[in-house]
Amino acid sequence: MNRKRPGANSRPKNSRPPNRRAERAKPPTDDPARTAALETLRAVRERDAYANLVLPGLLRQYRVSGRDAGLATELAYGSARARGLLDAVIAECSDRALDEVDPLLLDALRLGTYQMLRTRIPGHAAVASTVDLVRGNRGSRLAGFANAVLRRVGERTESEWVELLAPDVESDPVGHTAFRNAHPRWIAQAFAEVLDDTGAELDAALAADDARPAVHLTARPGEISADELAAITGGDPAPYSPYGVHLEAGAGDPGELEPVQEGFAAVQDEGSQLATLALTGVELDGRDTRWLDLCAGPGGKANLLGALVTLDGGALDAVEQAEHRAELVRSATRGLSVNVRVADGRAPGLSGTYDRVLVDAPCTGLGALRRRPEARWRRQPEDVADLVRLQRELLSSAVRLTRSGGVVAYVVCSPHPAETSGVVSEVVAETGVRQLDARPFFPEVPSLGDGPSVQLWPHRHGTDAMFCALLRV
């Protein structure tokens, strides 16, 4: 660690929180945006909640809209995304270990530190608003502690804190880049292995992962074109997907858009669209009307596949293990020739064989960290092994369910080698299926590497880091 630790006399005076239980008070009512952001962080910490699912309800609860909703979203998602970096800075400015700090106070300190280091909010305003938030939730004694810590945080910029606290760039380039872009080191190492780079490209990949993503929409085929959807929503047609539209980051809740509410469009990353379309682009001899989505929840890819096969007079079977997620699939595919079945994709009990099968397998989600702010700090390296076993079983099941001459697409939103090329190579060796060069089925998409699989990246393509392999049975 390149630590130029300040002397002990630079610690905040009288900053130690009291040992006895602090008095409780009602949350402040004059800052509903920051209150909603704080409650989001608390839900993520206490209930393993997803920030993007919790925050919309809190915005409605506290009646936050317009620019204030944008502020709440920025603070909640940004603080969750940068938690590791924020915690390192807070720890350096506190005379108490973080695990000894009141958890809600720590959440508030993360909000305050994020504002001071990563927004244009003036430092004095960030300190004052955070101290008020702490006073309203935990009382005046802890408010004094928060004030002392945040004033220490404000003594340096983010780049100065990185210079002080990050691992040395010469001896540990991956650790340094991971810290600078607020990623756990093990995730940065996995990215570095796939990119075969520990320098500029790894930094670009992590930086893109750390930025606010644009909102991506899919125009449902047969209902509305991408140009029409872009005109209605004020967005731009996507660069690669013929059904995609991009909206600016922070453009509001896309669920409130009329085409989304009416089912003509859906929120879906362009990388997911491209991987889905790759399955449909492979030529088949003979029948091509029986398609299968083996891991269909929550229904984004089933919606696109279902729309396309319905236009061709065929049908899609959509398998989802969890009933509540199966209901999401039914909702997403309403009006299409889609049959939703609640079953385990490893043994779904289906009869006959299919022409095209999609395996959008459960994964670590390391390729979609920009859209799941809290995920990078929740996932652990040991999660990978169990998921790889499941992914391998699902892909083997898909091969058994596909007719001779049919095609299987294996898709995960992760670039981790064990979840991508590792799974595919094992199943190919076990079953004897042939892996196709997937790159021609991503037309006009640049920088697809050496194949035969395709790995998309936020910093190269503006999509999630989606992986796709195509297998001919």
Phi, psi at residue 339, to the nearest 5°?
-110, 115
Q: How far apart are CA 348 and CA 122, in angstroms?
A: 56
User: Assign residue 365 a region: left if phi > 0, alpha if psi is -120 to 50, beta otherwise?
Assistant: left
Question: Is the distance from CB of 459 to CB of 442 less than 8 angstroms?
Answer: no
List, in order, residues 6 or more apart from 83 with CB less than 8 Å away: 110, 182, 374, 377
Q: Which of 93, 295, 363, 413 is catalytic?
A: 413
Give the up-direction half-sphere exposure of residue 317: CA atoms within 13 A in the CB hemisphere: 23
The one-letter amino acid at 429: A
Active site residue 413: yes
Token couple for 357? 């099968």
Question: Is the distance from CB of 203 to CB of 177 less than 8 angstroms?
Answer: yes
Reduce the secondary structure of the chain to three states and give it as a string.
CCCCCCCHHHCCCCCCCCCCCCCCCCCCCCCHHHHHHHHHHHHHHHHCCCHHHHHHHHHHHCCCCHHHHHHHHHHHHHHHHCHHHHHHHHHHHCCCCHHHCCHHHHHHHHHHHHHHHHCCCCHHHHHHHHHHHHHHHHCHHHHHHHHHHHHHHCCCCHHHHHHHHCCCCCCCHHHHHHHHCCCCHHHHHHHHHHHCCCCHHHHHHHHHHCCCCCEEEEECCCCCCHHHHHHHHCCEECCCCCCEEEECCCCCCHHHCHHHHCCCEEECCHHHHHHHHHHHHCCCCCCCCEEEECCCCCCHHHHHHHHHHHHCCCEEEEEECCHHHHHHHHHHCCCCCEEEEECCCCCCCCCCCEEEEEEECCCCCHHHHHHCCCHHHHCCCCHHHHHHHHHHHHHHHHHHCEEEEEEEEEEECCCCCCCCHHHHHHHHHHHCCEEECCHHHCCCCCCCCCCCCEECCHHHHCCCCCEEEEEEC
The residue assigned the tokens 């644009």 is 214
Q: How far apart are CA 374 and CA 379, in angstroms?
A: 9
Catalytic residues: 413
